[in-house]
Structure 1
Amino acid sequence: MKLYYSPGACSLSAHIALHEAGLACTPMLVSTKSHQLQDGTDFYSINPLGYVPVLELDNGERLREGPAIVQYIADQVPAKNLAPANGSMARYRLQEWLTFIGTELHQGFGPLFNPATPADYQPQVRERLLKRLQWIDGQLAGKPYLMGEQFTVADGYLFTVANWAGFVRLDISGVKNLSAFQARVAARPAVQAAMKAEGLLK
Structure 2
Amino acid sequence: MDGRDGMRAADADRAAVADRLRVALDEGRLDLHEYDERLQRAYAARTYAELEALLSDLPPVTPEQRSTLAPAAPGAPAVDPLADQVAGRGVTARWLADLWLPYPQVIAVVVTIWAVTSLLSQELLYFWPAWVAGPWGAVLVIRTVSGLSAGEPRRQAIERERKRQRRRAKRERKRELRAGEPDERDAPPAVG
TM range (shorter): under 0.3
* Higher normalized strand content (fraction of residues): 1
For normalisation by structure 1, the TM-score amounts to: 0.23
Pick 1 or 2: higher relative contact order, CA cutoff 8 A, min separation 6.
1
